[in-house]
A and B are shown apart, each in its own frame.
Chain A
Amino acid sequence: MITIKDLHASINGKEILKGLNLEVKAGEIHAIMGPNGAGKSTLASVLAGKEDYEVTQGSVDFDGKDLLEMDTEVRAREGLFLAFQYPIEIPGVSNINFLKAAISEIRQHKGMEPISAKDFMALVREKSKIVELDAKLASRSVNEGFSGGEKKRNEIFQMAMLEPKLSILDETDSGLDIDALRIVANGVNTLKSDKNATIVITHYQRLLDYIVPDFVHVLYNGKIVKSGTKELALELEEKGYDWIKQELAEEV
Chain B
Amino acid sequence: MNMDTMTLSPVKRFVETLDASLEKSLATKSRQAELLDRMESIDFPTTRTEAWKYTRVAKISKNQFYVNKAKLTSAESFFIKNLNALTIVFVNGFFAPEHSDSISENGLTITPFSLAKQSEIDALNKIEPGFDDVFSILNEAYAQDGFYIHIEKNKILSQPIQIVHVLTGENTIAQLRNLIVIDESAQAEIIQSYYTDNSINGFSNIQNQVIIGKNANLTIEKIQYENGENFHICRDKVKQDADSVFTTNTVTLDGKLVRNDLNIDVIGQNATTHLNGAYLTKDNQHVDNHTLVDHQVPNCESFELYKGVMDENSTAVFNGKVLVRKDAQKINAYQSNGNVLLSENASVNSKPELEIYADDVKCSHGSTTGQLDDEAIFYLQARGLSKSSAKQLLVSAFIGDVLNKITNKSVRNHIDAILLERFGWEF
Interface residues of A (CB under 8 A from B): 48-51, 71-73, 75-77, 81-82, 84, 87-88, 90-93, 97-99, 101-103, 105-106, 109, 141-142, 158, 162
Q: Are B382 and A82 in contact (CB under 8 A)?
A: yes
Q: CA–CA, A159 to B373, complex, Å?
A: 23
Indicate if B413 sits at the interface (CB-CB under 8 A). Answer: no
Q: Is the CB of B376 within 8 A of A88?
A: yes
Contact A93 B393 (CB under 8 A): yes
Judge whether B378 is part of the interface by a CB distance below 8 angstroms.
yes
Query: Any chain A CB within 8 A of the CB of B389?
Result: yes
B11 to chain A minimum Cβ distance, whole angstroms, is: 46
Within the assembled complex, what's the spacing in Å between the Cα atoms of A20 and B377? 28
Bound together, the chains give a CA A98 to CA B398 distance in angstroms of: 14
Distance from A95 Cβ to chain B, minimum over Cβ atoms (Å):
11
User: Size range of the interface on B?
Assistant: 20 to 34
Does the CB pair B397–A71 fall under 8 Å?
Answer: no
Shortest distance between the CB of B394 and any CB in chain A (Å): 7
Chain B's closest residue to A75 (CB) is B382
- Knowing A91-B397, A93-B394 are in contact, say whether A105-B373 is a contact too (CB < 8 A): no
**A73 adjacent to B393 (CB under 8 Å):** no
The answer to whether residues A98 and B383 also contact, given A72-B378, A88-B376, A90-B394 and a CB cut-off of 8 A, is: yes
Q: A72-B382, A90-B379, A101-B385 are in contact. List 14 more A-B contacts (CB 8 A).
A: A48-B378, A50-B378, A51-B378, A72-B381, A73-B387, A76-B384, A82-B382, A90-B376, A90-B397, A92-B396, A92-B401, A105-B385, A105-B386, A162-B384
Report the bound CA distance from A169 to B217 in whole Å: 54
Residue from B376, B379, B389 in contact with A105 in the complex, judged by beta carbons closer than 8 Å:
B389
Interchain CA distance A162-B380 in the complex, whole Å: 13
| Distance (whole angstroms) from the CB of B390 to the closest CB of chain A | 8
A84 partner residues in chain B, CB cutoff 8 A: 379, 382
Report the bound CA distance from A91 to B338 in whole Å.
Answer: 14
Q: Which residue of B lies closest to A99 (CB)?
A: B383
A92 touches B398 (CB 8 A): yes
Chain A residue at minimal CB-CB distance from B383: A102
User: B375, A101: Cβ atoms under 8 Å?
Assistant: no
Over the window 61-74 of chain B, the binary record of Cβ atoms lying under 8 Å from chain A Cβ atoms (1 yes, 0 no) is 00000000000000
B24 to chain A, nearest CB (A): 50
Task: Return B43 CB to nearest CB of chain A, in Å.
Answer: 44
A-B contact pairs, 14 of them (CB 8 A): A48-B382, A51-B378, A72-B378, A75-B382, A76-B382, A88-B379, A92-B396, A92-B400, A93-B376, A93-B396, A102-B380, A102-B383, A106-B384, A141-B397
Partner of A98, one of B375, B378, B380, B387: B380
For residue B373, which residues in chain A have a CB less than 8 angstroms away from its CB? 88, 90
Please measure, in the bound complex, the distance between the C-alpha atom of A234 and the C-alpha atom of B15, giving whole angstroms: 89
Task: Provide the bound-state CA to CA distance between A105 and B392, in Å.
Answer: 14
Q: What 0/1 pattern do residues 392 to 413 of B give for CB contact below 8 A with A?
A: 0110111011000000000000
- Whether A88 lies near B386 (C-beta < 8 A) is no
Are B378's CB and A101's CB within 8 A?
A: no
Give Cα A100 to B387, complex, Å: 16
Smallest CB-CB separation from A80: which chain B residue? B382
CB <8 Å contact, A76 and B381: yes
Within 8 A of A (CB), among B350-384: 373, 375-376, 378-384
Nearest-neighbour CB distance to chain A for B211, whole angstroms, equals 36
Q: Which residue of A has the minimal Cβ distance to B388?
A: A73
Of all chain A residues, the one with the shortest Cβ separation from B389 is: A101
Mark B194-207 against chain A: 1 for CB-CB distance below 8 A, else 0: 00000000000000
